[in-house]
């Protein structure tokens, strides 16, 4: 008989104003990339490969991607 012990920890942090802005920008960009990848998956008949998803967009420029995020 094996004994399984499950522990749960709860953490909370209080970001500074600058950290709140940075986190909001980060999660906004992540949401845009996720939604774009999800749209590609829904449009294709089969699931795209990892390489296909990596090549669908470059979000490093201000004209695309994160520039669409309103914070």
What are 2-61's pLDDT values in tens digits? 788 889 999 999 999 999 999 999 999 889 888 888 888 888 888 878 777 777 666 665
pTM of the predicted structure, to 2 decimals? 0.59
8 Å CB contact between 33 and 67: no
CA atoms lying within 13 Å on the CB side of residue 25: 8
Confidence bin at 62 (pLDDT 50/70/90): low
Distance CA 2, CA 21 (A): 47
Distance CA 38, CA 24 (A): 21
Q: What is the pLDDT of residue 64?
A: 52
Q: What is the pLDDT of residue 71?
A: 45
Longest C-alpha distance within the chain, in Å? 60
Distance CA 22, CA 20 (A): 5
């Amino acid at each position: 008989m094996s004994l399984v012990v499950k522990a749960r920890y709860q953490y909370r942090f209080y970001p500074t104003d600058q950290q709140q802005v940075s986190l909001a920008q980060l999660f906004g960009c992540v949401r845009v990339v996720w939604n774009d990848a999800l749209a590609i998956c829904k449009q294709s008949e089969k699931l795209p490969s990892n390489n296909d998803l990596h090549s669908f967009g470059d979000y490093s420029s201000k004209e695309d991607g994160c520039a669409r995020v309103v914070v």
